[in-house]
Amino acid sequence: MPPLPPLPIVGRYAPSPSGRQHLGNARTALLAWLHARGAGGRFVLRIEDLDPTRSQAIYERTILDDLRWLGIDWDEGPEVAGPNGPYRQSERTASYAAAMTRLAVYPCGCTRRELRESASAPHGIEPVYPGTCLQRAPATDRMLSTRWRIPEGCASATDSRLGTLAQDTAKDIGDFVLQRGDGAWAYQLAVVVDDAAMGITDVVRGDDLWTSTPRQVWLQRALELSTPRYLHVPLLLGPDGTKLSKRHGAPDVATLREAGVDPTRVVAALARSSGLVAQDCQRVAAVELVGAFDLTRIDAGHHRLEPNSSWLG
Ligand code: GLU
């Protein structure tokens, strides 16, 4: 039999509409889009609006406008629909509930203070939960969160840039929350369920999420879902090499758009920081960069946003 043709790539960008996007978000979106488009793949936009206390419709609107302005389009997502919608997590909660019925879980009534005081030394991204509510009946006067009784083992994730990250599920991860006491679904569960439901083959996202990946792989395994390829890209830093923040005075994407800045200047600055164009490239459209995505060049990028004066002036 002739070999099957390779499966087409499906990439995605999954922003949380909890504020205006900074240039670092835009750069991650651009890299994820270039990765998919460069391989002739499809691109999905998913709005991760699970936290009702932080998500706002106005920010979703801003994200869509920002992406279009930058020249980033999507085949599936808000405003274009698609076969695997809805593309807003707040409208997909039934699938998270269905997934949770397939996992061993228990209610947890620990207060923040208890969690702080009982937590063992942090190994992973957050303190490892010591299993307090496994041994006691949780208080019933409080809204209970739901934790996954994580099966013991070694959860290992692979990344095209960063190699392998193996975590001991008991020592490094612990029983983590799948649904908060106020009913909000946890990112870790939702992202795994949605990436699978939307047929995502390639997750390109910021490397701040790399340490979360083993737990996502462990959830995929428990739910018998396939594991996408992962590529965690460096975060964009300020001109001084520290985490990009307000202190650096970098305008957010919507501010640039509303001020009538030429988006090709913004894309050029993002592409220079990613090593995808020469340092003297002043203007480039996103579509002209399709084909320029190259991991070695990204690795060699300086990942710093230059001072505003050097790319806005
Ligand atoms: N919604 C997450 C964020 O905005 C990204 C999640 C992901 O790409 O897996 O940081």
**Is 226 a member of any domain?**
no
Average pLDDT over the chain reads 94
**Is 125 a member of any domain?**
no
pTM above 0.85, yes or no: yes
Mutate to test the pocket of ligand 1, among 12, 48, 216 (most ligand atoms within 8 A of CB): 48
- Nearest-CA residue for ligand 1 atom 6 is 14
pLDDT at 56: 97
Can you give the CATH number for the domain in which 244 is found? 3.40.50.620
The single residue of 53, 152, 246, 259 carrying the catalytic annotation is: 246
Distance from C-alpha of 79 to C-alpha of 99, rounded to nearest angstrom: 27
Higher per-residue pLDDT: 71 or 6: 71
For the Cβ of 286 lying below 6 angstroms from any atom of ligand 1, the answer is no
**Parent domain of 33:** 10-93+234-306
**Is 20 a member of any domain?**
yes
Mean pLDDT of 239-253: 92
pLDDT at 245: 86
**Position 150 pLDDT exceeds 80:** yes
Tally of structural domains, the chain = 1
**Position 124 pLDDT exceeds 50:** no
Mutate to test the pocket of ligand 1, among 125, 191, 203, 219 (most ligand atoms within 8 A of CB): 191
Active-site annotation holds for 246: yes
Q: What is the pLDDT of residues 151-197, one digit of tens each?
A: 999 999 999 999 999 999 999 999 999 999 999 999 999 999 999 99
pLDDT at 3: 77
**Is 39 a member of any domain?**
yes
**Is 32 a member of any domain?**
yes
Distance from C-alpha of 144 to C-alpha of 2, rounded to nearest angstrom: 54
pLDDT at 35: 98
Sequential DSSP letters for 151-163: PSSEEEEEETTTE
**Is 87 a member of any domain?**
yes
Output 34-37 pairs: Cβ under 8 A, ≥24 positions apart: 34/276, 34/286, 34/289, 34/290, 34/292, 34/293, 35/9, 35/11, 35/202, 35/204, 35/231, 35/293, 36/9, 36/10, 36/11, 36/12, 36/202, 36/204, 37/290
**Is 312 a member of any domain?**
no
For the Cβ of 209 lying below 6 angstroms from any atom of ligand 1, the answer is yes
**Which of 79-88, 117-126, 302-311 comes out lowest in average pLDDT?**
117-126
Q: How far is the CA of 194 from the centre of ligand 1 (A)?
A: 12
For the Cβ of 15 lying below 6 angstroms from any atom of ligand 1, the answer is yes
**Position 125 pLDDT exceeds 70:** no
For the Cβ of 202 lying below 6 angstroms from any atom of ligand 1, the answer is no
For the Cβ of 11 lying below 6 angstroms from any atom of ligand 1, the answer is no
